[in-house]
């Protein structure tokens, strides 16, 4: 799959859609989805990792942890690493006020503004650590309407993003039990996810030989699926890619400190 960067328009992360209802959010997702311009991709090709490291020398990870007592407060973890060596270059948490409640299928409208603000703050404060690609704890096009939080973050920032989810949403007839069975039977580390529509929505990955539960990778914005898969595999020391795993750790630590 590929994209048309010229057609991308920045997602307004301000008050225009924060106060909107579910019907308006659905319409916005459908509108924004057109700017992804996804095209077929040959998944049998081999990715040149050195070229990938050159294109994306710094890789970021984003995760968010809600406050234990206050529903409208959360802590964003942002980690920047060398994509090749996985050396940590930047590690910070940001306290955020969430403007909307959680509605299934619309997580981006609750969390994306906080994630976007954290990345924009990095660009102002330490631009030499600004990443060329972001891993977002959430979904990209592997989403009921094809536009998850990773898409929302990427389109707003005009930055390549990859959605990495720990669980599978109910999308286009995909069945988690069947996927787990198939990937184990095939003896492969990853398998593409074809929905009832026969479109490739993402991939299920077993991060390493010891992992039994797959993670789910999908395109967020301005990156090909094979590139996303290879970057995620490279950054996985455990089940979850290191940039997201560390971002999750530091956001949880911030939440615990403020709770105590």
Would you say residue 146 has pLDDT above 90? yes
C-alpha span between 240 and 137 (Å, rounded): 10
Would you say residue 141 has pLDDT above 70? yes
- Grade residue 208 by pLDDT with cuts at 50, 70 and 90: confident
> Please, what is the end-to-end C-alpha distance for the chain in angstroms?
46
Structure confidence at residue 18 (pLDDT): 55
Give the helix ranges, DSSP H, for the chain. 15-18, 22-33, 49-55, 107-125, 149-157, 176-186, 225-235, 242-259
Q: What is the pLDDT of residues 155-190, one digit of tens each?
A: 999 999 999 999 999 999 999 999 988 998 888 899
Closest to 222 in 3D by CA, of 115, 124, 150, 129: 150
Mean pLDDT throughout 16-29?
A: 79
- Sorted by where each starts, the structural domains of the chain and their CATH numbers stand as 5-169+182-259 (3.30.2170.10)
Q: Please provide the average confidence, as pLDDT, over all residues in the chain.
A: 91
- Grade residue 212 by pLDDT with cuts at 50, 70 and 90: confident
Would you say residue 230 has pLDDT above 80? yes
Structure confidence at residue 257 (pLDDT): 82
* Single pTM value for the model: 0.92
Q: By the 8 A CB rule, do 123 and 81 touch? A: no
Q: What is the pLDDT of residues 65-79, one digit of tens each?
A: 999 889 999 999 999
């Amino acid at each position: 799959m590929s994209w048309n960067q010229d057609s991308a328009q920045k997602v307004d992360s301000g008050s225009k859609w924060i106060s909107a209802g579910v019907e308006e959010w659905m319409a916005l997702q459908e509108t924004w989805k057109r700017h992804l311009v996804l095209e077929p991709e040959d998944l049998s090709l081999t990715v040149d990792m050195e070229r990938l490291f050159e294109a994306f020398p710094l890789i970021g990870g984003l995760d968010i942890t809600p406050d234990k007592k206050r529903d409208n407060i959360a802590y964003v973890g942002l980690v920047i690493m060398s994509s090749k060596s996985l050396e940590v270059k930047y590690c910070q948490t940001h306290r955020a006020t969430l403007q909307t409640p959680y509605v299934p299928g619309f997580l981006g409208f609750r969390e994306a503004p906080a994630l976007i603000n954290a990345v924009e703050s990095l660009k102002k404060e330490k631009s030499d650590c600004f990443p060329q690609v972001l891993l977002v704890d959430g979904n990209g096009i592997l989403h009921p309407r094809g536009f998850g939080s990773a898409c929302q973050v990427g389109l707003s920032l005009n930055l390549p993003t990859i959605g990495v989810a720990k669980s599978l949403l109910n999308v286009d007839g995909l069945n988690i039990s069947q996927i787990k069975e198939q990937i184990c039977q095939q003896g492969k580390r990853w398998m593409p996810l074809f929905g009832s529509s026969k479109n490739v929505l993402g991939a299920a990955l077993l991060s390493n030989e010891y992992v039994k539960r797959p993670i789910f990778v999908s395109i967020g914005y301005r990156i090909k699926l094979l590139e996303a898969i290879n970057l995620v595999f490279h950054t996985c020391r455990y089940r979850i890619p290191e940039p997201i795993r560390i971002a999750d750790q530091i956001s949880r630590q911030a939440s615990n400190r403020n709770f105590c």
